[in-house]
């Protein structure tokens, strides 16, 4: 399996991703009967994710925090609480950051990146022939579980955000909005690591996921979907439905593991930032931070 590279938005430089347990993932998603058996056992039986999650909540897990910070060069100065105060590894994983660490871009008509992560963006998903994995196109109907809703967003704008285990794992609202009641669609917990997604894009439409409709003034109705992954059985929502939130306000968080967020805008409601579009067209994810600009609202047709 070839290495994975992304563009760091701050430096504009290409960087190589450090993939946790890369060899294990390559073996797990290799095409042979043994890989299929263990992948099915691990990802389709939630008990394994629950057990792994509980291990990260044991007091003994806190000894992994400092080595993890050092190995992956995580900036502890951004943490709201010092690393030594976290009682478990999971408490470190769902850490909060100082508000000053992620300034929010101004402008009511400006949408922001809602999380730290690696971004792929598609201005019009219908026209993106490159959005294929092994000749298979991403299915909105399978993702949303609703054919009418899929038709409404078929020519819309799609944002894919992949959160690696090293990332800040709280997610926030991309614009001023009134969120509705979250809708849970149950499913397995396959990895959303690039190795796994390159093998099978259906992972994004099969995994456990939660969809929230965000009612906005400038962007129409935005669909915000959190996708669970291996070891991420818990998608925690911290907001209250039908209450107004400002962009940058917290929406929720993922427990330990890698995870993914998919955001859908209605057709012709947002013009995405050009650097995000160009990096995607060149085959690179863009490493971005919460609060950076995503795009600007277009006048509704």
Q: What are the CA-CA distances from residue 17 to residues 14, 27, 67, 74, 168 (Å)?
A: 10, 18, 18, 14, 16
Q: How many domains does the chain have?
A: 2
Could you tell me the residue range of the domain that residue 36 belongs to? 20-93
Catalytic status, residue 116: yes
Residue 66 three-state SS: helix
Pure H helices in the chain: 22-28, 33-44, 46-55, 65-71, 89-93, 140-144, 147-152, 194-199, 203-206, 274-281
- Same domain (yes/no): 28, 49: yes
pLDDT per residue, tens digit, the chain (301 aa), is: 467 899 999 999 999 987 654 444 444 444 545 444 444 444 444 544 455 556 666 888 899 999 999 999 999 999 999 999 999 999 999 999 999 999 999 999 999 999 999 999 999 998 765 554 444 566 888 889 899 999 999 999 999 999 988 899 999 999 999 999 999 887 655 555 555 555 555 556 667 789 999 999 999 999 999 987 655 457 899 999 999 999 999 999 998 766 889 999 999 999 999 999 999 999 999 999 999 999 999 976 5
- Same domain (yes/no): 86, 202: no
Q: Of the residues 49, 61, 116, 167, which is catalytic?
A: 116
- Same domain (yes/no): 171, 209: yes
Tell whether 77 is covered by a domain: yes
Tell whether 3 is covered by a domain: no
Last residue of a domain, one of 93, 116, 145: 93
- Same domain (yes/no): 182, 274: yes
Tell whether 52 is covered by a domain: yes
Q: Of the residues 167, 169, 172, 273, which is catalytic?
A: 172
User: Going by DSSP bridges, is the β-strand pair 183-185/136-137 parallel, antiparallel, or unpaired?
Assistant: unpaired
- Same domain (yes/no): 260, 160: yes
- Same domain (yes/no): 254, 160: yes
- Same domain (yes/no): 44, 139: no
Q: Mutual orientation of helices 33-44 and 46-55 as an angle, nearest 10°?
A: 70
- Same domain (yes/no): 278, 193: yes
Residue keyed to tokens 């054919």: 147
Q: Of the residues 49, 61, 255, 259, which is catalytic?
A: 259
């Amino acid at each position: 399996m070839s290495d994975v590279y992304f563009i760091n938005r701050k430096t504009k430089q290409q960087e190589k991703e450090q993939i946790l347990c890369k060899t294990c993932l390559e073996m797990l998603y290799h095409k042979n009967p043994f890989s299929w058996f263990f992948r099915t056992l691990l990802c389709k039986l939630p008990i394994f994710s629950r057990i792994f999650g509980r291990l990260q909540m044991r007091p003994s897990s806190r000894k992994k925090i400092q080595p993890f910070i050092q190995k992956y060069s995580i900036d502890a100065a951004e943490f709201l609480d010092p690393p030594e105060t976290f009682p478990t590894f999971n408490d470190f994983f769902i850490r909060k950051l100082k508000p000053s660490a992620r300034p929010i871009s101004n402008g009511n008509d400006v949408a922001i990146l809602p999380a730290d992560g690696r971004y792929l963006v598609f201005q019009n998903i219908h026209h993106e022939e490159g959005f294929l994995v092994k000749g298979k196109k991403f299915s909105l109907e399978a993702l949303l579980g609703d054919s009418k809703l899929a038709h409404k967003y078929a020519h819309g704008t799609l944002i894919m955000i992949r959160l690696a285990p090293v990332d800040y794992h709280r997610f926030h609202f991309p614009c001023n909005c009134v969120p509705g009641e979250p809708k849970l669609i149950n499913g397995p917990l396959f990895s959303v690591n690039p190795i796994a997604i390159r093998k099978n894009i259906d992972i994004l439409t099969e995994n456990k996921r939660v969809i929230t409709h965000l009612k906005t003034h400038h962007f129409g109705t935005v669909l915000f979907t959190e996708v669970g992954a291996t070891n991420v059985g818990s998608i925690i929502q911290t907001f209250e439905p039908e209450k107004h939130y400002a962009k940058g306000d917290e929406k929720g968080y993922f427990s330990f593991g890698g995870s993914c967020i998919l955001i859908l805008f209605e057709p012709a409601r947002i013009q995405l930032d050009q650097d995000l579009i160009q990096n995607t067209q060149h085959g690179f994810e863009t490493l971005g931070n919460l609060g950076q600009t995503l795009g600007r609202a277009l006048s509704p047709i």
